[in-house]
Amino acid sequence: MRDVRIEPSAFDPAAELARFAASVPSAGGIVSFLGQVRCDDGVEALEIRHYPPLTLPGFHALADSTAARWPLDGLLLIHRVGMMQPGEPIVLVAAAARHRRDAFAATDHVMDHLKSASWLWKRERTASGWRWIEPREDDHEDLMRWD
């Protein structure tokens, strides 16, 4: 089971994870990561932009390469685009596998790619105005460990 989506509106992480878990009954473990808009540092809003002809095909290619690397029963990747408020979910990644280490590694792999090599542009609004968010050096280092 592979579910890869770009969502322009809010989604319910608990419902999505429950649906995913029900679709992979043979999995021995499911690992998930939920990213949400921070409620600290004066963040008032987050906007994520993307280029549709690249984003969804890129997400599918990432899912394909992840599934080729680890024996997964399923992979879930949901990423929001558009305007979001503090506390709202941004991304949900879940991997289901017979063994937990495969599920952990696959989820980590997908997130490292999304943080530093994805087809998304992110900016935050604070009281000082808007600022673009670039991947940090640590994000690039995290990605390099998968080579």
What CATH number corresponds to the domain at position 66? 3.90.1170.40
Residue 144 maps to a domain? no
Q: ∠ at Cα 122 (121, 128), nearest 5°? A: 140
Residue 141 maps to a domain? no
Residue 143 maps to a domain? no
> Residue 142's pLDDT is what?
66
> Residue 139's pLDDT is what?
66
> Residue 12's pLDDT is what?
98
Residue 138 maps to a domain? no
pLDDT per 10-residue tile (average), the chain, 147 residues: 96 98 96 94 94 94 97 98 97 97 97 88 94 80 74
Question: Which letter does DSSP use for residue 68 in this model?
Answer: H
Return the number of other C-beta atoms located less than 10 Å from residue 104's C-beta: 16
Residue 135 maps to a domain? no
Q: Which domain holds residue 86?
A: 2-127
CA distance 11 to 35: 12
Q: Is the dihedral of CA 81, 131, 13, 17 positive or negative?
A: positive
Residue 18 maps to a domain? yes
Domain count for the chain: 1
10 Å CB burial of residue 11 (0-12, 13-18, 19+) is middle
> Residue 78's pLDDT is what?
98
Residue 139 maps to a domain? no
Residue 10 maps to a domain? yes
Please state whether the predicted TM-score (pTM) of the whole model is above 0.75: yes
> Residue 145's pLDDT is what?
81
List beta partners, residue 74. Answer: 96
